[in-house]
Amino acid sequence: MEHPFRIADNVRTGTPIMLIKISYRDMEGFGEASMPPRYGEDLNTAKVFLDQLDLSQFHSVSPIDPILSYIDHIQPGNPAIKAALDIALHDLWGKITKRSVHELYGLSNEILQTAKTISIEAPEIMAARVTEAKDFRYLKIKLGTAEDRAIIQAIRKVTDQPLYIDANQGWKNKEEAARLIDWLSTQACLFIEQPMPKNDFDAMEWLKNRSSLPIIGDEGIQRIKDIDNAGLFYHGVNIKLMKSTGIREAFTMLTTAKKKGLHTMIGCMSETSCAIAAGAQLGSLAEFIDLDGNLGVTNDPFIAFPCVQGEIRVDNSPGLGLKKPTWDTVEPYIENS
């Protein structure tokens, strides 16, 4: 990463990534597993999972649902490597049919206004990073520190851009959180993402009903089952492919959330342009876009949809819309066609 990435409970300078390729006849589909340490997956767990995989039983990429069901039931958990397989299969399916992934799902290729994430640093450093991101319409500010008010005050000295606030479970007292949200509502903040620990259900339910800004669930929203009761604790949900096991379930989660009247957001981990392109294919289903995880990567092996002044322009290229990867930037780990 170009800069250390610091949130309420950890900091890192890189992220373990596994890129995969699935071959079918003369075509190739590419996928990605991004595995931040806090979620429990790594290169070894991904390899163990892939060693159990046998796609030879399937003779075509379509229909895709039986293949993804088989993958999901190999063993519980492992959403990131499952997402990599899902993404690669969708890329392949699109290339075979000469259709983009969003066209496969009957979606449009809208211009997406992504937020730019500013991770936690000293207030003056965060203000400087905000100035560097002046071309973005929205900024996502990481909070969850003793200096949260000072951070926002420093940022408001240099910009009036609307802010997404992400506490990453960093606030522990619901009354204090409610008072801080009241103040943030006067600072052109649009919503609060995961303010309380995801398992503190009583506090989250109380805060959801008390909050003067919408509450968006992130760590507390992993897969489709979590949408059932999401409305008790959140006004909206942040769907990420690395949590949902990929495009197919993310599509179902977004459409289900919309039917339930929840705000919808599509987000990302620290990812290459491969997974960001996959997320962007579902962008028209989301009210809020946070697909900047490739912008601070120094060794991105893919080129997909450029982000210009905060705008991601998704085209109708077959599959994910990736350009040829530059594999010389990637450390080989496993090849399993």
Domain co-membership, 193 together with 88: no
- Does the residue 6 lie in any domain? no
DSSP symbols for 186-209: TTTEEEEE--S-TT-HHHHHHHHH
- Does the residue 326 lie in any domain? no
Q: What is the pLDDT of residue 334?
A: 47
Number of domains in the chain: 2
CATH label of the domain that carries residue 56: 3.30.390.10
Q: Which residue stretches of the chain have pLDDT < 70?
A: 324-337
CB 87 within 8 A of CB 241: yes
Q: What is the pLDDT of residue 39?
A: 83
Which residue in the block uniquely carries the two structure tokens 């983009």?
A: 100
- Does the residue 210 lie in any domain? yes
Domain co-membership, 23 together with 55: yes
Q: What is the pLDDT of residue 136?
A: 97
Q: What is the pLDDT of residues 135-149, one digit of tens each?
A: 999 999 999 999 999
Q: What is the pLDDT of residue 327?
A: 56
Domain co-membership, 150 together with 16: no
CA distance 151 to 237: 25
- Does the residue 322 lie in any domain? no
CA distance 81 to 336: 13
- Which domain, by its residues, includes 39? 11-98
Domain co-membership, 164 together with 46: no
Q: What is the pLDDT of residues 244-295, one digit of tens each?
A: 999 999 999 999 999 999 999 999 999 999 999 999 999 999 999 999 999 9
Degrees to nearest 5, angle at CA 187 with 184 and 188: 110
Q: What is the pLDDT of residue 10?
A: 77
Domain co-membership, 151 together with 18: no
Domain co-membership, 184 together with 309: yes
Q: What is the pLDDT of residue 329?
A: 56
Domain co-membership, 122 together with 261: yes
Nearest 10 degrees: CA dihedral of 25, 27, 29, 30?
A: 120
Which residue in the block uniquely carries the two structure tokens 């640093």?
A: 121
Domain co-membership, 205 together with 159: yes
CA distance 168 to 174: 14
Q: What is the pLDDT of residue 88?
A: 98
Domain co-membership, 65 together with 124: no
- Does the residue 72 lie in any domain? yes
Domain co-membership, 39 together with 94: yes
